[in-house]
Each structure stands twice: as C-alpha cells, then as structure tokens.
C-alpha cells in the first residue's frame, strides 16, 4: 500500500494534465492499538472519528517508512478519490449502445495518455476491472479537446475532439512502473529508487519481496516467467492487456449476434490487430486453457517498442494512433455527432500533451 500511495502521488501530477487517473489524497498508517483497522476489514464504512483516531498520515515518506511498511505492511493504508456510481468497464461490454457509440472514446481516454507516458509509466495490471467508467452528470456530455503538440517538429499541432458522457479512470497502482527522477530526484521519485531503498531497509526481507514489494524485483532472465512484469522497468506493450481482453469480448458478442460486426465499423478491425502474449511459454496445463479465450491466460507480453502499423498494434503508441485515426474519420465523426445531437453539453474539457494543465470550460 505504501508503494501504491507513492505511485499515486506521482500520478497526482499527471492527473493535472490528463483526467484518466484517480487522485491519491494521502498515505496513512493504522495504529494497531485502535479499532479502525479491524473495523475497516469487516465493514465497508466507519465513522470519521474512528479513522481520525486510528490513522496517522505520512505527509513525506522517508526511508524509515519503508522499514515500517515491511514490519507492519497490513497496517499501511491509502486514501483515494471516490467516484459515485463509477463501474468497471467490464460491466459495459455487454451493452450494445456502449460498444457501438462509446467504447472508442473511452479507450482513447486511456491510451492517449499512456502513449505520452510510455517510457515514464507502465500500469502492469490494466485489465477491465481496473478501468472505471464514470458519468459526471446523467444525460449530459463533455466535449473533449485533446491538444496534441508536434513532438518531432515535422508538422503542425492538432486537436482531436469528440463528445462523450463518460470519463475513464485507471485505478490500482500497486504494480506500476514510474520514473519521475527529473522532477523528484529523491528515492521516492522512481520505482527503481524505491526498490533500492527497500533493499537497504533492515526489515524488508529479500528487498521487501515478502512484504508486498515483489513486483519491483528485476531479473531479465526470469521476466518471461513473471509475465514480463517488473515495476523497475517500462514495458510499452504490457498495457495492451485491456484491448486484448476486449478483443475476446467483442468476438463473443459477434458470435452471439453477427449483426454487431458491421455496426462496429473499423473499430473491430483495429482491436483484432492487437499483439499480446508474445514471449510467454505456457506449461501443458495453461496451454490447454489457452484454447478457451475466456480464461485470459495471456496477461503479459514481451515489450515491443517498434511500431507494427498498419498491420499490427505492438504497443500503447500504436493503440493511441489507431484509435485517434478512427475518431478523426468522417464516419465516426458523424456517428458521434448523431449520438449526442439531442443531449445537453456539460462543458468543454481541453487536455494538453505538454506541461499545461487541463482546462474545463462550463457550457
């Protein structure tokens, strides 16, 4: 939980630019002598006074707190943003209206920032229960404007615009890789720095591997055995897991109702381009399970930094480009305008891929 809180504090800064992350309010430690911890394990909620008495906030994490986290890992806690009635994207995948009209724009909200952060951040557990769909105001939509700078100086900046009722929120930061060393040169400024410090903490046995820091270990020779997950290094392909899972959900929907495929248009073809599970060797038991896509055997993949376009989607950069291409196409623009023609605008959300914070302009 301490590590998840540190990742969340890094993402608080990114969250000023992109709306795709929940806010982390603080890192805390339960007082073992107070009833707050057992109450929170049993009940979904408790009195604020119990929490105030039973929790101690850690405003700045020092090396001693890593030692504390290893000694009393179960007593660490993180306070994060709550989104009223937000639901995992999984619960929307059997709703035809969502598949036809909304999923393209939700996926872009996820993969556009991931593409811009590709070498500074990898989520490493991006399945479809870790992406929440939040509707701020029932019956009203947001006009999104993604302002994209020309990163290589070869062309003009562009604005990608669309309408949507939803905001996509990525949650669960316990396995993430992040690198914020330039802005935060201390040990809390990167996954690697945290791991190095944990290895020096007296009570962090095996560098914290037995107290919740196991995903931080990096052994190139054993990456395939760990589904290519190591929170010390980036993997620009791993977060395609969400698209990979959706691919099989879409296949199941089409099998149940073949009329679904033409209504999806080219989005179906894009999802089918996703490359995942590369480099993983399955034992006989899992190889048998792999024949059933609902088992989701492949929850990892070897990193591939090279573009596979136009035939394959090899990484989050490819995913963002392909989703953007569809959003900008006349057919999808017309579809988006038709869907929201009768609804009321909540406001315009301007999102920038440079250092500027996002800006909301109420309607």
Range of the domain at 65: 2-83+173-222
Each residue of 138-183: pLDDT tens digit? 989 999 999 998 755 555 678 999 999 999 999 999 999 999 999 9
- Is 228 within the bounds of a domain? no
Q: What's the pLDDT score for residue 153? A: 54
113 plus 155 within the same structural domain: yes
Mean pLDDT lowest among 40-49, 115-124, 291-300, 314-323: 291-300
- Whether 217 and 350 map to the same domain: the answer is no
Does one domain contain both 271 and 344? yes
For residues 159 and 280, membership in a common domain is answered with yes
Query: Alpha carbon 148 to chain centroid distance?
Result: 20
pLDDT (tens digit, 9 = 90+) per residue, 3-15? 999 999 999 999 9
For residues 38-48, give the mean pLDDT: 85
Residues 23, 151, single domain; the answer is: no
The answer on 215 and 358 residing in a single domain is: no
Question: In sequence order, what are the residues at sequence separation of 6 or more whose Cβ sits closer than 8 angstroms to the Cβ of residue 82?
Answer: none
Residues 167 and 177 in one domain: no
**pLDDT mean across residues, the chain:** 91
Report how many domains make up the chain. 2
* Nearest alpha carbon to residue 190 among 64, 10, 5: 10
Residues 333 and 276 in one domain: yes
Asked whether residue 199 is domain-assigned, the answer is yes
Residue-level pLDDT at 293: 54
Same domain as 13, residue 135 = no
Q: Which position has the higher pLDDT, 16 or 289?
A: 16
pLDDT at site 237: 98
Query: Is 34 or 103 the better-scoring residue by pLDDT?
Result: 103
Same structural domain for residues 32 and 167?
A: no
Say whether pLDDT at 55 is over 90: yes
Same domain, 37 and 163: no
Helices (H), the chain: 2-14, 36-42, 48-54, 63-71, 96-101, 103-116, 191-200, 241-256, 260-264, 266-272, 284-289, 316-327, 330-340
Q: What average pLDDT does this structure show over 14-43?
A: 93
Between 35-44, 225-234, 248-257, the lowest mean confidence (pLDDT) is in: 248-257
247 shares its domain with 322: yes
Predicted confidence at residue 258, as pLDDT, reads 85
Tell me, what's the pLDDT at 291?
A: 62
Query: What is the pLDDT confidence band of residue 297, given thresholds at 50, 70 and 90?
Result: low
């Amino acid at each position: 939980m301490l590590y998840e809180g540190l990742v969340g504090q890094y993402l608080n800064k990114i969250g000023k630019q992109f709306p795709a992350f929940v806010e982390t309010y603080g890192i805390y430690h339960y007082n073992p002598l107070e009833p707050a911890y057992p109450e929170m394990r049993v009940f979904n909620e408790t009195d604020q006074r119990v929490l105030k008495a039973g929790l101690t906030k850690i405003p700045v994490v020092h090396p001693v707190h890593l030692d504390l986290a290893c000694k009393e890992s179960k007593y660490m806690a993180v306070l994060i943003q709550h989104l009223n009635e937000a639901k995992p994207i999984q619960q929307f995948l059997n709703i035809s209206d969502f598949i036809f009209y909304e999923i393209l724009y939700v996926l872009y909200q996820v993969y556009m920032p991931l593409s811009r952060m590709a070498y500074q951040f990898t989520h490493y557990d991006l399945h479809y229960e870790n992406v929440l769909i939040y509707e701020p105001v029932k019956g009203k939509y947001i006009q999104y404007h993604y302002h994209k700078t020309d990163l290589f100086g070869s062309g003009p900046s562009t604005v990608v615009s669309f309408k949507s009722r939803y905001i996509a929120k990525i949650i669960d930061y316990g396995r993430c890789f992040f690198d914020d060393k330039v802005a935060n040169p201390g040990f809390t400024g990167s996954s690697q720095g945290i791991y190095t410090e944990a290895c020096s903490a007296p009570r962090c046995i095996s560098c914290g591997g037995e107290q919740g820091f196991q995903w931080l270990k990096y052994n190139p020779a054993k990456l395939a055995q760990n589904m290519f997950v190591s929170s010390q290094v980036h993997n620009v392909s791993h977060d395609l897991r969400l698209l990979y899972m959706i691919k099989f959900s879409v296949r199941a929907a089409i099998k149940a109702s073949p009329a679904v495929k033409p209504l999806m248009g080219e989005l179906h073809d894009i999802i089918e381009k996703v490359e995942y599970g590369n480099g993983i060797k399955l034992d006989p038991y899992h190889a048998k399970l792999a024949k059933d896509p609902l088992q989701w055997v492949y929850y990892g993949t070897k990193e591939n930094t090279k573009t596979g376009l136009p035939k394959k989607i090899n990484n989050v950069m490819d995913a963002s480009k392909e989703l953007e291409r569809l959003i900008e196409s006349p057919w999808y623009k017309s579809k988006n305008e038709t869907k929201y023609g009768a609804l009321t605008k909540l406001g315009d959300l301007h999102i920038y891929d440079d250092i500027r914070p996002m800006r909301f302009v109420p309607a």
